[in-house]
Structure 1
Amino acid sequence: MPDVIIPGPAGRLEGKYSPSKTPGAPVALILHAHPRGGGHMDTPVSTMMYDEFKERGFSVLRFNFRGVGRSQGTYDQGLGELSDAATALDWAQAHNPNASYCWVAGHSFGAWIAMQLLMRRPEIAGFISVSPPTNMYDFSFLAPCPASGLIAHGESDAIVPHDEMERAMSKVRTQKGIIMTHDIIKGAGHLFTDHLEPLEASVKTYLDKRLPEVDVERAEMANTGKR
């Protein structure tokens, strides 16, 4: 798990990167929770998602948004952080030019950034969105959502109540054939303290089901000449 420094739009971005040993392996980008709420790339949720993609043969990158850890710059209300995420994905793709597809995964603020990136990058085939802060940010940009993914939320989340998340996400339109899977983790709060294992089980179950389907979809697209 080598440390990496990525040239970012506001200076260097500190990251950790695990390259796959398989040629053409997919890429995954992990985005952490709010920089001003203690979020950083080594929190338990971010590390868990990183490890899950790594175990499935992805080339995986997680990094600190601007102003966090050794990343340069200052917090920029999400605008700069979206640029950071796009730059980090560009870096990962440059190191994996034959990657078959990409996934994004984010926790809280990182989930909001991940979903915005999803709308801008058609090569992203799926997402993991943990505790999306639907009561703090507008998610109406998902119009329509272009890829299937998992939304995992804590039943006892006091920061973003799960019924508020369900209400907001139920209004999101999706493209034909796209499914947004919801999983409410019993007893869990926003940070999944003492509930990381059931969250991990949810992510494992979803990836083990979804990834074979993505492989089939990508093969069919290649056979028909679509991208």
Structure 2
Amino acid sequence: MTEGQVSFPTADGLELEGLLHQGKGANEGRWVMLCHPHPLYGGDMHNNVVEALQRSLAREGFSTLRFNFRGVGGSRGEYGEGAGEVKDVRGAVDFIAREAGADHDCYLLGYSFGAYVGVQGVTADNRVKAIMCISPPVALYDFAVLKEEERPKLIVSGQRDLICPVLPVEELFAALPEPKTMHICPGADHFWWGMEAHITDYVLDFFQGL
């Protein structure tokens, strides 16, 4: 379940660093792009939620790409106010397409800020087959594009999340077209410390239904 260091260009020409795992078995053609939380608040590709999800997916044979947004770690550039990070996401999808070749499916799995820029980045990109949002900050950012999204969607949030409260998440979910799935995890807050296994279970169950 090793990962190799990779680099790839963004849609506007910056170089980003990432970690790529090539899966094996029935799921190796399923590539999951993991987008980390807000870089100005310590978010990077080694975040606890991102790492837990990557390890779980790798154990199940999925191929994964996690990467640092611009200005984080060894990635070039500086924080892009969200608009720049959307270009990072688009660069990551292009990179997966080059690495995986024609016979693959790509999936978005974004956590917090990573869910927001991920959703914006894959809008109208039919190479991405499903959208998974962990603790989406719907009270802070506009997720309206999801209301027109016909691809399968998963939303996971913590019942005790004070940064992304449950009520606006539930209101967004109610406005989404099918197919859609939501889980509100009892006892979990925005950071999921010690409760990461709940997220991985929700995500793997979602994949079972695709």
- CA deviation after TM superposition for structure 1 residue 31, in Å: 0.3
Larger Rg computed on CA atoms: 1
**Is the deviation greater in 22-31 or in 120-129?**
22-31
Pick aligned residue for 2:21 from 18, 22, 27: 18
Q: CA deviation at 1:10?
A: 5.1
- The C-alpha deviation readout for 1:62-114, integer Å capped at 9, x for no partner, is 00000111111111111110101110111111011123311110000101122
Secondary structure in 2 matching 1:30: strand
The 1:2/1:78 distance shift into structure 2, 3 A limit, reads same
Q: Is the deviation greater in 81-90 or in 136-145? A: 136-145
Partner of 2:107: 103
Which residue among 57, 63, 70 is the counterpart of 1:66?
Answer: 70
Aligned residue for 1:191?
191
Give the unaligned 5+ runs of structure 1: 215-227
For residues 81 and 147 of structure 1, the distance between their equivalents in structure 2, rounded to whole angstroms, comes to 22
Q: How does 1:33-112 map to 2 (within 5 A)?
A: 33-112=37-116
Q: Percent of counterpart pairs with the same letter?
A: 30
Per-residue CA deviation, residues 24-68 of structure 1 (Å, 9 max, x unaligned), is: 712211100011121100111111222233233332100000011
Aligned to 2:171: 167
**What amino acid is aligned across from residue 13 of structure 1 in structure 2?**
L
In structure 2, stretches of 5+ residues that fail to align are none
Partner of 1:7: 9
- Following TM superposition, by how much is the alpha carbon of 1:153 offset from its aligned partner in structure 2, in angstroms? 0.2
Amino acid of the residue matched to residue 181 of structure 1? T
1:153 to 142, 150, 157: 157
Cα 1:194–1:58 change in 2 (3 A) is: closer
Maintained 8 Å contact 1:157/1:190: yes
Deviates more, 1:197-206 or 1:35-44: 197-206
Aligned Cα RMSD in Å? 1.8
How far, CA to CA, are the matches of 2:163 and 2:180 in structure 1? 22
TM-score after normalising by structure 1: 0.84
| Whole-Å separation in 1 of the counterparts to 2:172 and 2:133 | 14
For 2:132 and 2:58, the matched residues in 1 are separated by 14
Distance in 2, matches of 1:52 and 1:95, equals 21
Q: How does 1:109-128 map to 2 (within 5 A)?
A: 109-128=113-132
3-state SS of 1:69 partner:
coil
Alpha-carbon offset, residue 15 of structure 1: 0.4
Q: How many residues align?
A: 206
SS at the partner of 2:162?
coil
